[in-house]
Chains A and B, each alone.
Chain A
Amino acid sequence: MSATKPHTSTEVVDVKGSSGSHSRIGEIASRLASKLSGSRQRHPVLHRLLLTVLVVCLGLVLTGLVSGVTNLDLATGVAMSVAILGLSFLTGFSGQVSLGNGAFFGVGAYVFAIWGNHQSSSIGEDLLVCTAAGAVAGLIVGLPATRLRGPYLAGMTIAVAIAFGSLIDEFSSWTNGDQGLNVQSPVTPPAWLASFIGEPTSSLRATFMWRADITIVVAGITFFLMANLFRSRKGRAMRLMRENEVAAELVGVSLPGARVSAFVVSAALAGLGGGLTTLVSTAVYGSTFTLGLSIEMLTLLVIGGIGTLSGSLIAGLLYAYSITWISSLVSGLGLTSSSNLGSQMNNIIFGAVLIITVLVAPLGIAGTTQFVISRRLARRRTERLDKAG
């Protein structure tokens, strides 16, 4: 979401001075733009809130228009984007690379199913429990992280990701091991939401529509809170820590505190994303939460753009839709999905795109787009100044 780049707005303000040569519409547009960006600088929180509400409302309208399957994809993608946003905060802001966030995601997913099968609480409460469970797991893993640097930490989180699978097996009386766990009690939407949809919730379309709606609203709240965290004192302190630890320590940032809290926030969001995913899919299988999932999350994040809100959203939607795109590519190439090449096409494409991204555009889709736009705006501005002077 564009609220993350106020530095580009100052360039828009300057357009006002040279609007004489523009057409009337251009003049009105540039005046509007300058007003908007002025309000963005004066009331950043209000601006983010309005933007979030706008995007969430658009999303909700969209869920009413599309089919059940599309809603399922949409909900899956948005749920994943919440988890990836947490990883984005951890990696992009505090500079710690985690290859174990799939395990926190799994904690949230299992807690949603187990808690939901034992307690009759509302969906909101269930999701809060998932978030809290993720945060606790993040605290446990994050505490040693205060002593570990870059590659040590990344390696340790790999071991966490692999160990999670065997822990699922070990506690199979709770998790039901390989068999997987179904959400037994039928999850129903709150009455007001059901009446809002106005369709029997048993139909395929409505089933996934209300789930997508809840996911989008929860994701909207999360993205809004995280946008404020990104711009807050804490967020700035973490970015300083990533750039220069010693300088951060000298200006009074507690490094261990900042490291652990980044882990806790990231794991809490992963837990929430896992809970939302279980809400959508209504079943949990241990085979989902392998090292591969953690790696996929990091891959999607890098391709989407580390440290940006829009990058996480792009990454989540890529997660949901890439499966469809790649399977249509596989059939377009005349391969069957069970053949060796066809079954591996997904990872071949993701691996290659990831390597190319790191070598060519390490800022990812969102970061590179922001960079290109801000450079173009700056160039236009200097051209105008040249003409005027």
Chain B
Amino acid sequence: MDAFLTSRNASDVLHGLVNGMVFGLVALGLVLIWRATRVLNFALGAMATAAAYLGLGLLSYGVGFWWCFLLCIPAGMAIGALTERFLVRPLYGKPEINPIVAMVGLLILIEAVVGSIWGTRQRSVIPPFSYVDWHLGSNPVALSPLAVFQIGCAVVMALAVGALFRFTNLGLQLRAAALAPEVSRLLGVRVSRMLTLGWALATGVAAVACVIVSSGFISGLTPSGMEGPFAAGFIAAAVGGLESPVGALVGGVSLGILEAFVTDYWSPNLVLPVSLLVLVVVLVVRPNGLFGHQRVRRV
């Protein structure tokens, strides 16, 4: 057992798990927004980065890590809600390309504004956890207190969102507004408010993903730091089908583990090309993703 836990394959899985949870959270954010408003939010990574800068920026004023971390979530939610209300809502019902271009514009704008306020140099975020791996006997297990913190944050966040949707009245309204807006409006659901809330939740989730990314040992906080995780998160969401939150999380974790194996056995440069290949193969076999449903297109 000890030999297995310290083996190369087991440590690849554990390394992949941390990245995979990040991809899963980004994918979850994308799915929440897609289900609610049929917009693929290309700016999600940048919005999360802005939230993380707002929250973690307080670290340099001597505020404790946990307060900064917790502040990132409402900051992200505010950014998401404002974006939906003022940028996305005028574009509902317009050609499909318009929201895509608007989100690309927001991506450029946010990265530039963040860079102009805080600079493009990497800011290190030091969480109160050791990055040194635990040992079994004399061999290291690829798991440190920091990794446990990162995985734990992601799991708690995913469970919280799941519980909100599954067990609360608000979650029911959110699901109803996304699935059947006309009927829910007749039944008294404030649909447009629910859509705004969906964007807020998604950005809050993505903000946690950004904190996890930037709290790593090597990586810090940079304005464009979420571009890579966003691309992987998108691939995970698309593999899962863009409709299914569970699919997004499963897709994210699988992709993270796959990437860890590719990095270890092959080359870190081939991580994205291989993920892309997986996406293409999955979508050629099942055009609506592994967890998606066949949609009917009307004339």
Residues of A whose CB lies within 8 Å of any CB of B are 91, 95, 97, 99, 144, 147-148, 150-152, 154-156, 158-160, 162-163, 166-167, 169-170, 244-247, 291, 295, 298-299, 302, 306, 340-341, 343-348, 350-352, 354-355, 357-359, 362
| Chain A residues in 8 Å Cβ range of B273 | 163, 166-167
Q: Mark B113-126, 1 if CB is under 8 A from A, else 0.
A: 10111111000000
Are A162 and B98 in contact, with the CB atoms below 8 A? no
Q: How many residues of B contact A (CB 8 A)?
A: 55
Are B108 and A354 in contact, with the CB atoms below 8 A? yes
Are A355 and B284 in contact, with the CB atoms below 8 A? no
Residue contacts A-B, CB under 8 angstroms, 17 given: A97-B97, A148-B287, A154-B40, A158-B234, A159-B234, A162-B272, A163-B276, A166-B271, A170-B269, A244-B299, A295-B108, A340-B117, A344-B113, A347-B115, A351-B107, A355-B109, A358-B102
Known: A97-B100, A152-B242, A355-B87. A170 touches B105 (CB 8 A): no
Residues of B whose CB lies within 8 Å of any CB of A are 34, 39-40, 42, 87, 90-91, 94-98, 100-102, 104-113, 115-120, 227-228, 230-231, 234-235, 238, 242, 267-273, 275-276, 279-280, 283-284, 287, 297, 299
Known: A147-B283, A159-B235, A340-B115. A358 touches B98 (CB 8 A): yes
Chain B contact surface mostly: helix
B36 to chain A, nearest CB (A): 14
A299, B103: Cα distance in complex, Å: 11
B262 to chain A, nearest CB (A): 11
A352, B87: Cα distance in complex, Å: 12
Sample of 20 further A-B pairs with CB below 8 A, known A97-B100, A151-B242, A343-B115: A151-B40, A154-B40, A162-B231, A166-B269, A295-B107, A298-B101, A299-B108, A302-B101, A340-B115, A340-B118, A344-B112, A345-B116, A348-B116, A351-B106, A351-B107, A351-B109, A352-B109, A355-B87, A359-B102, A362-B94
Q: Whose C-beta in chain B lies nearest to the C-beta of A171?
A: B269
Q: Whose C-beta in chain B lies nearest to the C-beta of A346?
A: B112
Q: Which one of B94, B106, B231 has the highest number of Cβ atoms from chain A below 10 Å of its Cβ?
A: B231
B241 to chain A, nearest CB (A): 10
A147, B100: Cα distance in complex, Å: 19
A346, B179: Cα distance in complex, Å: 40
| Chain A residues in 8 Å Cβ range of B112 | 344-348, 351
Q: Whose C-beta in chain B lies nearest to the C-beta of A156?
A: B279
| Chain B residues in 8 Å Cβ range of A343 | 115-116, 120
Which of A144, A154, A358 touches B105 (beta carbons < 8 Å)?
A358
A169, B95: Cα distance in complex, Å: 38
A351, B104: Cα distance in complex, Å: 8
Are A246 and B297 in contact, with the CB atoms below 8 A? yes
